[in-house]
Structure 1
Amino acid sequence: MIAADALVKRYGRKVVVDEIDFTVRPGHVTGFLGPNGAGKSTTMRMIVGLDQPTGGTVRVNGRLYHEHRAPLREVGVLLDAKAAHPGRSAYNHLRSIAATHGIGNARVREVLGLAGLDSVAGKRIGGFSLGMGQRLGIAAALLGDPATIILDEPVNGLDPEGVRWVRTLMKSLAEEGRTVLLSSHLMSEMAQTADHLIVIGRGKILADGPIGDVIGKGTKTVVKVRTRESQELMSALAAPGVGVALVADGSLEVSGMSAEEVALVASAAGIVLHEVAAVSGSLEDAYLALTAGDVEYRSSSAPRVGSSKMGENR
């Protein structure tokens, strides 16, 4: 378990993490989301002792990270897949880490196999692709068979098979009763992997709850309707608190009514419906709504390719 209590991190006058409280519990995959500059990486670094809090505490399995006598057996972490000597082989890289905790070579070979790196175990890391480096970083995080796993952008650079492997691995680790904290900017992947979400923006916790609750609070459910009698249905649905909009594909979106209520109104008016379904918002919709006011680095409109201004600056 990971527990943060009034956790603060300042760099000079800049507050990066602003007195946050959260708990990452075992048995779940917890997604850690937030815009660039929100404080995610700093928080994860404080969890594993790479940055010291300005105030508050964060404990892993009941202790501060530096209090664990064998931290690799308590928490496995991937924060930077490039943090490996390029001249070493994958096998020797993991052996050097394992040696610090008395972990045998059999476990090194086991995690190499788990990560699908058996065939390249003797190759130098400097020749690895981004995805292979990610697999090696995950293998290193699992070396000590830890109860807690923290992975930052673990699917970065992975092909579809690798993405599915990470997804399945995270779920299986959680099912074993481990604590899994997973950071990613891929909303579609997070929606398939996480059970629980913590959303941070400008150093503050914006949401903390089951993924369904976070999506439900951050989006609205509408009823999508298809009919050849759109105008007649719009008139029949007109009522206080009910919104009806005609969308680009010719369907109607109804808010303030359930799908069953819409169907009953249409039936009473003799209107034939070709489709009626409740449509919930996505995790991406909820995330963008939650963080709309907390994006620190916001892009301006992109210049037109081949514009005269771009040409003048060449």
Structure 2
Amino acid sequence: MIEAHSLTKRYGSKTAVDGIDFSVAAGRVTGFLGPNGAGKSTTMRMIVGLDRPTSGTVTINGVSYATFRAPLHEVGVLLDAKAVHPGRSARNHLRALAATHRIRPARVDEVIGLTGLDSVADKRVNGFSLGMGQRLGLAAALLGDPATLILDEPVNGLDPEGVMWVRQLARGLAAEGRTVFLSSHLMSEMAQTAEHLIVLGRGRVLADAPVSEILAKASDDSVLVRASDADRLNALLVDHGGVVAHVETGQLSVRGIAAPRIAELAAAAESLVIHELTPVSKSLEEAYMQLTRDEVEYPASQTRSEKR
């Protein structure tokens, strides 16, 4: 488990992380989201002792990272996949890391196979693609078979097969009872990988909840309805307290009446047939944008059409 209490980091007059509290439980994948500049990378760096908090504490399994005598056995970290000597081969890079922690050489071969690096293991890292470099970073994080994984943008540069592999790996490690904490800007992938989310904005926690709860709060509780006589259904639903808008020809957006009740009202009306009845739920991307719309520190300029 990772626990932060009143965790704060300031750089001069700039507050990067503003007194946040959160916990990352073992046995599930916890996603870490937020706009650029929200404080995610700074928080991850403080967890593993690369940045010192201005105030507050953050611990892994009850102790600070600095107290671990053999940290690779405790925590696997991927913060910068490029942090490798470019003249070394992947195998020699992993062997050097293994030697610092008395990790058996056979484990190096295991993580090379696990991360799909077999064909390039003896090639110099400076010739690696972005995706292969990312796989090497993941191999290093897994080298000590740690109980805690902290992964910053682990699918960056990976092809679809690699993205699916990371998803399955993260969920599999969590199922073994490990703590898995990962960040990503790919909302569709996070929706399939994480069970719980922590969302930052301008250094503060905006949400700390299961994915399902965040999606439920973002939902507008509307229902899309298509019927044999949309105008007649419109009048019927308004009479029963619904708020109805025409979406397109023959299709209505209804608020204030749940889908089962809409079906009951239509069934009770003579010759009124429902062709579509779809409760509308927001995607994680839409829920995330709703949460963070006022917390973007570096907003993109509007397009010409948006300015009109």
Q: Please report how far the alpha carbon of residue 49 of structure 1 lies from its aligned counterpart in structure 2 after TM superposition.
A: 0.4
Number of equivalenced pairs? 304
Contact 1:38 1:203 in 2 (8 A): yes
What are the ranges of 5 or more consecutive residues in structure 2 without an aligned counterpart? none
Rounded to whole Å, the distance in 2 between the matches of 1:215 and 1:191 is: 10
Which residue of the partner structure matches residue 278 of structure 1? 279
How far, CA to CA, are the matches of 1:90 and 1:34 in structure 2?
A: 32
| Paired residues of 2:112 and 2:139 also in contact (CA < 8 A) | yes
Per mean C-alpha deviation after superposition, the further-off stretch among 4-13 and 213-222 is: 213-222
Matching residue's letter, 1:294: E
State the 4+ residue runs in structure 1 displaced beyond 3 angstroms.
none
Q: Is the 8 A contact 1:226 1:252 kept in 2?
A: yes
Residue in 1 that maps onto 2:92: 92
Would you say the 8 A contact 1:61–1:74 is kept in 2? no
1:151 maps to 151
**Identical aligned residues as a percent:** 64
Q: Give the aligned partner of residue 175 of structure 1.
A: 175
1:1-314 superposed matches below 5 A:
1-239=1-239, 242-248=242-248, 250-270=250-270, 271-302=272-303
**Deviation of 1:257 (Å):** 1.5
Distance 1:66-1:128 versus aligned 2 partners, 3 A rule = same
- Residue type of the partner of 1:93? H
CA offset at residue 66 of structure 1? 0.3
Deviates more, 1:40-49 or 1:232-241: 232-241
3-state DSSP of counterpart to 1:238: helix
1:113-159 deviations in whole A, cap 9, x for unaligned? 00011111101111111111111111100001101001111111111
1:239 shift after superposition: 4.5
Shift of 1:218: 2.2
1:151 alignment partner AA: L
**SS of residue in 1 equivalent to 2:10:** strand
Let me know the Cα RMSD of the aligned residues.
Answer: 1.4
Task: Name the aligned partner's letter for residue 300 of structure 2.
Answer: S
Deviations 1:259-311 (A, max 9, x none): 1101111122231111112221111111111101100011112479xxxxxxx
Distance 1:44 1:243, change over 3 A: same
What is the TM-score when the length of structure 1 is the normalising length? Answer: 0.94
- Name the aligned partner's letter for residue 276 of structure 2: E
How big is the shift at 1:249? 6.8
- What one-letter code is carried by the residue in structure 2 that aligns with 1:291? T
Judged with a 3 Å threshold, the aligned counterparts in structure 2 of structure 1 residues 104 and 259 are, in CA distance, closer, same or farther, namely same
Gaps of 5+ in 1: 305-314
TM-score, normalisation: structure 2: 0.96
Tell me the equivalent position of 1:307.
none
Q: 1:28 to 1:238 in 2, by over 3 A?
A: same
Q: Distance in 2 between matches of 1:248 and 1:226?
A: 10
CA contact (8 A) 2:225 2:276 kept: yes
Is the contact made by 1:72 and 1:143 (CA closer than 8 Å) also made in structure 2?
Answer: yes
CA distance in 2, matches of 1:130, 1:234: 54
With over 3 angstroms needed to count, the CA separation of the structure-2 counterparts of 1:241 and 1:140, relative to structure 1, is farther
- Tell me how far apart the structure 2 counterparts of residues 244 and 152 of structure 1 sit (CA, whole Å): 44
Contact 1:4 1:57 in 2 (8 A): yes
Q: After TM superposition, give the deviation of residue 224 of structure 1 in Å.
A: 1.5
Instruction: Verify the 8 A CA contact 2:89 2:121 in the aligned structure 1.
Output: yes
